Amino acid sequence: MTAAPEAEARATCAPGARGVGCGKVILLGEHSVVHGRPALAAALPRGAQAEARALEHGPSTARFVFADARVDVTSDPEASHPLGRALCALLATYESAPPVHVHVQLDLPAGAGLGASAAMGVAISDALDALTATVRSPSERATQTLAWERVFHGNPSGVDNTMAAVGGVALFTRGAALERVRLRQPLLLVVGHSGEASETKEMVALVAQQLEREPARIGELFDAIAVLVRNARLALEAGDLRALGQLMDMNHTLLSALMLSTPRLEQLCAAAREAGALGAKVTGAGGGGCMVALAPDAVVAERVLTALRALGAESFVAEVGP
Ligand code: MEV
């Protein structure tokens, strides 16, 4: 981590170019998506914002502002902070970009399974494109920001940065074209933070180890999740929220079988169901981080929110799509 006040002072004279990236919630299919199965994901209305300014000379620097911390980094492939290495990886995707200073504001909890790193990478790419007059489609941005995501997650499926760049609700399969999902009505999701830190890289490695040890059993489990995902897509398109909720619960059971839930996440999911949620599950990498519950209407969403907050969980309601 390197403080860069001088670069920032030099950067403040020129107007900045702005960019945004969305957070995401995986409705079904996390982890199995790393191994080629589909996942159903929704972009969140909140995420990250970036502002990029050209510098007269390098090196490029960035300031990241989180709810409870501020991190200053210099772009460097050997930087001790992963954000410095990720910035370097992203800048390397530009043929000719000037040295820059980037200011990034994150409006999501980090390390919680809501795609915070992808939202930041996409926001920076969007700002850098505006600064350098680069024209890039959202799906091209999804491909470009994989370089950023690899720094944090080792072997990312690409679902987080794709949803961060493209938005909406979609069925994502690694290496295949993104399939947009048309919703009948907006979805009301209640997201609750367990308060437990979760490292995506470690959780992905944990599942990969299980697959290596028991390829047949874990492969079948992934296939079962894929069936749930495809049915969930049909339920979404038919506007059948009750079925979607049941499929989320089933997916949660299979994620628990992969040792991705925790007693705290179980407690929050149970409280959400008790308060009227149609389904509730771990979302993202698991092992901590967040859970997501599906509410049938705003009154129940409020009740679920109150129940989660009564257990001390930082929570919010998100309305996603159509
Ligand atoms: C993380 O948000 C989702 C995982 O499936 C990892 C990935 O898809 O890269 C756990």
Give yes or no: residues 23 and 145 share one domain.
yes
State the CATH number of the domain containing residue 166.
Answer: 3.30.230.10
173 and 196, same domain (yes or no): no
Q: Give the Å distance between the CA of 57 and the centre of ligand 1.
A: 37
pLDDT one-digit tens code per residue, 207-257: 999 999 999 999 999 999 999 999 999 999 999 999 999 999 999 999 999
Omega prior to 45 cis, within 30 of 0? no
Q: Which of 260, 216, 258, 252 is nearest to 232 (CA)?
A: 252
Last residue of a domain, one of 132, 151, 180: 180
Total number of residues shown for the chain: 322
Domain boundary among 128, 162, 180: 180
Q: What is the DSSP string of 70-94?
A: EEEEE--TT-SSHHHHHHHHHHTT-
Domain assignment of residue 198, given as a range = 187-320
Claim to verify: residue 217 and residue 291 sit in the same structural domain:
yes
Task: State the Cα–Cα distance between residues 57 and 88, nearest whole angstrom.
Answer: 16
Residues 56 and 10 placed together within one structural domain of the fold: yes
**160 and 289 within one domain:** no
**196/170 same-domain check:** no
Instruction: Measure the CA–CA gap between 182 and 4, rounded to whole angstroms.
Output: 45
- Is 40:29 a contact under the CB 8 Å cutoff? yes
Query: In whole angstroms, how far apart are CA 175 and each of 69, 161, 172, 234, 293?
Result: 36, 14, 9, 22, 29
Please name the helix (run of DSSP H) or strand (run of DSSP E) that holds residue 144, with its range, or none. helix 138-144
The verdict on 211 and 169 lying in the same domain is no
**Nearest atom in ligand 1 to 155's CA:** 9
169 and 212 housed in the same domain: no
Based on the domain organization, do 160 and 283 belong to the same domain? no
Query: Do 137 and 219 fall within a single domain?
Result: no
Query: Are both 40 and 78 inside the same structural domain?
Result: yes
* Nearest Cα residue to 168 out of 146, 192, 138: 138
- Domain end, chosen from 118, 148, 180, is at 180
Q: Which among 159, 178, 222 is the best mutation to test ligand 1's pocket, defined by most ligand atoms within 8 Å of the CB?
A: 159
CA distance 29 to 251: 7
Residue 38 identity (one-letter amino acid): P
pLDDT in tens, 76-120: 999 999 999 999 999 999 988 899 999 999 999 998 999 999 999
Q: pLDDT by residue (tens digit) across 40-88? A: 999 999 999 999 999 999 899 999 999 889 999 999 999 999 999 999 9
Six token digits for residue 30: 């996390």
Nearest-atom number in ligand 1 for the CA of 34 is: 8
How many structural domains is the chain composed of? 2
Task: Write the CATH number for 280.
Answer: 3.30.70.890
